[in-house]
A and B are shown apart, each in its own frame.
Chain A
Amino acid sequence: MDFYFSYIVLAEIYVLLGLSTNLLVGIIGIFSVSQAAVFGVGAYIVAAFLMSGTLGFIPAMIVAFICCVILNILLALPSLRVSGDYFVVTSFGIQLLATAVFINWTAGTGGANGLPGIPPPEILGHTVGEAWEFLVLVTVATGLGCLAFGLILRAPFGRLLKAIREDELAVAAAGKNVLRAKVSAAALAGGFAGSAGGLYATFMSFIDPVSFDLDASILLLTMVVVGGARTLAGSIVGPFVLLALPHVLMLIDIPTTIAASMRQLIYGLLLIAFMLFRPQGLVGEKL
């Protein structure tokens, strides 16, 4: 039972994280392979507070949320000043830089060895220790995230973002502030990623830079592509499908030495296949 709970908890955390990439890449159209970095920042912040005992779980999550909102605004700003192609380099650069910091700043992040022994969350005096308790917590958090995402899509803001993706200049000509819309969407995406990071840190009780590197960002991209861009359904389907994949692979006899490479290879194949044959993903809209 615990195994299934773990799968669902992890999938839900990635749903929350995926909302961030879906918002940036799918809805606004800002290319981003750096959401895993923001995910990591959220995770390290919550871990640091919990391990040093300075803040409880909820306050730590709030701090992580705010920091990641600000971080994402800063990260999105270059994209808003230059055309899409140049931002691609910036996004890769940010992700690689972040990984370098995670690995080398041993004092803050435990370096390549990571941070073990992150305590479980304590909410209103109750410790969330069991797998099913975690399931409740994460389901609530992710549920809120999905609610927010859905409300955005249905509100005038969603329509505005859709129009911006199609034709920014025409939106400006209609008198709307394009920059402010994009920045606020990027900010929200940061919030999603940071919250997911905090949940991840406490659930796994151990984090290291490997979970937040470029491969992780590519996995996120694959989730959005496979699930489908720009829809809530796509954001939910993607992570559940992609996280089931490693378990399916385990049924095939693949030597452990190449297991990680094979997984990444399959993600790559999925990206190519979906872009060629089904750009709208399983339940999304065309990218």
Chain B
Amino acid sequence: MLALQLFINGLVTGSALGIVAISFSLVFSTAKIFHVAHAGVYTMAGYLAWSLVRYGVPSPLTLVIVVVLCAGAGALIEWQLYDRLKQRRATDLVILIASIGLLAVMQNSISAIYTPNILQFPLPWASQVVAFGGIRLSWAEILTVAFSLSAYATTMWFANHTNLGKRIRAVASNPFLAEITRLEPRSVYVYVIAIASALVALPGVMVPLDFGLQPYGGLTPLLTATIAMIAGGVGSLHGAYVVAVAIAVMQNLCLLFIPGEWSVGITFFIFVFFMLFRPTGLFSTAR
């Protein structure tokens, strides 16, 4: 049953894409930055994990180390780049260009160090397949879903039930007010990007377990995730996650009808169409 297999594959990819979407959304709705370099952190996570595994670090520990390193990288990016720019009263355009520059630096550093060729994880257990009910899933895919859903649930719990989470939501809804009360948005921004980078490390490691590592492979998922964020309504984490899954499923099912290279193009095409005729998104409570 090809369609069902494609559907399930779409759910798997979508669950990971959803994490990219909500992590990006966290940064965008809080710090109001279009953090393109997020794709660089995503890519970096995969390659760091690969190197650690190559040196014999056990997989669970690798994951933890990579998550921590990415959180650190995110914090560094906000602290040393975005914050500096904002202190100089840089426009959004300037910050965006700097982020693009950073992405170029990250991707091309990785390409120079690891070569532009596709790398596979030397983990045989990851590609072992489990079959049930006519569907085949590799352990990599199963883990992807497991980690993604857990991360999703944890993020929602965090946003609603912890002090930092509430602070983040407060800053997101009214940065100006946050500035003049004691919420200290600048340090909140550092936390937010650190958390977002930690989150995106998960799909950053999981997805290449399945598909392999590529230095330039981060931008397309990021843009797709951004489309999900916008279509789901900016500010709605649920919306971003759900639409991300929907897009991934749709892209996969499209493979029944059109060649692979075009399935991603369809998504962008639909998005451009969307922007022309319904820019506020599907769940148009957000602006």
Contact = CB atoms under 8 A, between A and B. Distances in A.
Given A90-B272, A275-B97, A97 B265 contact: yes
Q: DSSP majority for the B interface?
A: helix
Contact of A96 (B108, B223, B275): B223
Interface string B164-188: 0000000000000000000000000
A257 B115 contact: yes
A168 B28 CA distance: 24
A265 B271 contact: no
Contacts of B230: 86, 89
Contact of A275 (B28, B94, B111): B94
Chain A interface category by residue count:
35 or more
Chain B interface category by residue count:
35 or more
B227 A272 contact: no
Contacts of B97: 221, 225, 271, 275, 287
A25 interface: yes
Contacts of B90: 275, 279
A218 interface: yes
A246 interface: no
Given A97-B269, A264-B108, A92 B223 contact: yes
Interface string A77-117: 11001101111111011101100110110000000000000
A268 interface: yes
Contacts of B130: none
Contact of A93 (B88, B109, B272): B272
In this complex, the member of A86, A96, A101 whose beta carbon has the largest number of chain B beta carbons within 10 angstroms is A86
A137 interface: no
Contact of A268 (B96, B105, B215, B275): B105
A88 B93 CA distance: 10
B276 A93 contact: no
A82 B101 contact: no
In this complex, the member of A93, A276, A287 whose beta carbon has the largest number of chain B beta carbons within 10 angstroms is A93
Interface in B236-272: 259, 261-262, 264-265, 268-269, 271-272
A212 interface: no
A88 B226 CA distance: 10
B149 interface: no
A5 B251 CA distance: 48
Contact of A78 (B92, B96, B264, B275): B275
A3 B246 CA distance: 53
Nearest to A75: B272
B272 A94 contact: yes
Interface string B103-118: 1111111011001100
16 contacts: A85-B92, A86-B275, A88-B34, A90-B275, A92-B219, A93-B268, A93-B271, A96-B223, A96-B268, A265-B105, A265-B108, A265-B112, A268-B100, A269-B105, A287-B93, A287-B97
Complex A-B, nearest 3 residue pairs according to Cβ-Cβ distance, in ascending order: A271-B101, A268-B104, A93-B268
